[in-house]
Amino acid sequence: MDYKKLIRSRKLRTWILSCLCFIPDRLMIRIQYRIKFNRRLDLENPKRFTEKLQWYKLFYRDPLMRQCTDKASVRKYVEKCGCGHILIPLVGVYESVREINDEELPEQFVAKDTLGGGGNSVFICTNKSELNENSGRGREDFKKR
């Protein structure tokens, strides 16, 4: 079952999870795993890659992981390690889409939220001049993210 298709709004999914915050992590991960993969999660003897990822979520606590899960903060870590030259140029990091100045954007760009895993949190623009209020796909799609 793809819960993201059932509940399309990321904000609503986040709100639902916040309402269930009283459920212990171990139980919540088991519930989410059952919903997503339609099978029991084996944390005692994980064999599948997806089971091992869930085990890491619960039991592996390295402070560096928190920094490296965010696209903006991992850049600071990469630069600190002396590998800043491998990073793709960054136009900016914004709190809201409304903060973005269109003139700052290059002709082609990709816009992402910092914690998104893809899908609706990625906007690919191949021609900035096509971003206008009247087109079916363009500025409205970009601005509503």
Distance CA 11, CA 96 (A): 14
pTM strictly above 0.85: no
Its sign, for the CA torsion 55, 59, 63, 66, is positive
Distance CA 41, CA 118 (A): 24
User: Exposed, middle or buried, 37 (CB in 10 Å: 0-12/13-18/19+)?
Assistant: middle
Give pLDDT tens digits for 61-98: 888 888 888 788 899 999 999 999 999 888 888 887 78
Give pLDDT tens digits for 25-39: 999 999 989 988 999
